Structure 1
């Protein structure tokens, strides 16, 4: 992998007495969208949380833009240019959409031009700008969570299952938004269970099973190989069109 923005080398993670990640090795190419796939419980969320320092790697190394960030505290990792959107979205329901966005802006202010670009991706956020985030639908809350991650330019976006539980029309909206993000040159590591989204968005793919990397390569190759899909994921992407 020639120009990897993120690289994990031999990463092990323990949570209490449980050994979750077992020597995870993979790289995320700069300017690409890398899909992180696997069955439930494979270790995908633990991988994202380990990258962010929310759970500490017990062995191995996480490198970001050539820098060892393995032992850094989470605020320092965020300050280095990595944004994380967890599966539970982590928005503040009692605050307005605007206040949620302001909290995510490291400068303490919102760039008007960038905000208009975000509204173009997620028009509902402009509509509910001064309303409490708690009144948003599930899909709108997910839009807000992603918008907070991109309220300022970030080097790397880590996003955990953004289409989970969403209606098909909202999923297509998300796919369009991620395509626009890709067009800006953003580097994204995306955990996803919706295989249509994975097929449409992914440049490269990493597949996990039981805390280990069992496959990596081009997303198009996995999407075209139903036998490999069945072997790695236990299902066919074509069955989920």
Structure 2
């Protein structure tokens, strides 16, 4: 499958279009060699989707970008700077936010306190907060509740809202729709659309194809720690043979 890589869409190879680019990135976790030469380009201002079978290296890629696991080889260029050696707080300061699959909220703190911690200097912009409430009204309802008392879907809202509370250049999101009710998924879709419109670039790992097929602009498919295909989401969505070749199943059933 390593020969399945295809050329990126026209115009996306121009330096001005690249917000994030991984070149030859290897990541080891203990004795395990997880990423084995990842090459990935995320165009500025769009939503890029990272697909692949379980264990392909998708989450490790996000964590390596965020500096939670260090690349043992290769470069991670973000907005013209190699961030591979930077600390996670420095990477966050550069304008990247990360929403892990585990959500990583503070269960003992209220919803309000969780968002305060994510805001720069603890000061939340009222207008932006109301904008977030428009997508996730439950957060306003449970504003003073301990986050640990919320449902799984509500906790995911808190995790996404924490990443949205400040304008970001790049948002890394791992499996945001997992276990969520359809109504919450729809709100999440609208939030991502507006984030794109506000010039926030998004790199999304997701298994729910109905969620990403009309939301994603570009797609990269991983297998065995490498990117084996890049192209437009529309190209992959319209080509069942390509889906079978890259993922071993039709994406229409990959939900």
Specify if TM > 0.5: yes
Match of 1:185 among 199, 204, 210: 199
Match of 2:241 among 200, 212, 227: 227
Match of 1:158 among 144, 163, 172: 172
Match of 2:221 in 1: 207
Tell me how far 1:135 sits from its aligned partner. 1.6
3-state SS, counterpart of residue 77 of structure 1:
helix
3-state SS, counterpart of residue 98 of structure 1:
helix
Match of 2:96 in 1: 82
1:48 paired to 2:62 = yes
Match of 1:132 in 2: 146
TM-score by length of 2: 0.92
Tell me how far 1:240 sits from its aligned partner. 4.9
Match of 1:68 in 2: 82
For structure 2, the 5+ residue unaligned runs are: 1-12
Q: CA offsets, 1:3-27, max 9 Å, x none?
A: 1000000000000010000110011
Deviating above 4 A after TM superposition, structure 1's stretches of 4 or more consecutive aligned residues are none
Match of 2:128 among 114, 117, 120: 114
Equivalent residue pairs, number: 241
Q: Hey, what's the Cα distance between the residues in 2 that align with 1:105 and 1:152?
A: 6
1:98 paired to 2:92 = no
Q: CA offsets, 1:149-192, max 9 Å, x none?
A: 11110110000000012222322222222122222221000000
3-state SS, counterpart of residue 201 of structure 1:
coil
For structure 1, the 5+ residue unaligned runs are: none
Q: Hey, what's the Cα distance between the residues in 2 that align with 1:182 and 1:161?
A: 18
Q: Hey, what's the Cα distance between the residues in 2 that align with 1:47 and 1:240?
A: 21
Match of 1:7 among 21, 31, 34: 21
Q: CA offsets, 1:71-107, max 9 Å, x none?
A: 0011100011100001100001110000000010122
Q: CA offsets, 1:212-231, max 9 Å, x none?
A: 11100100100000111111
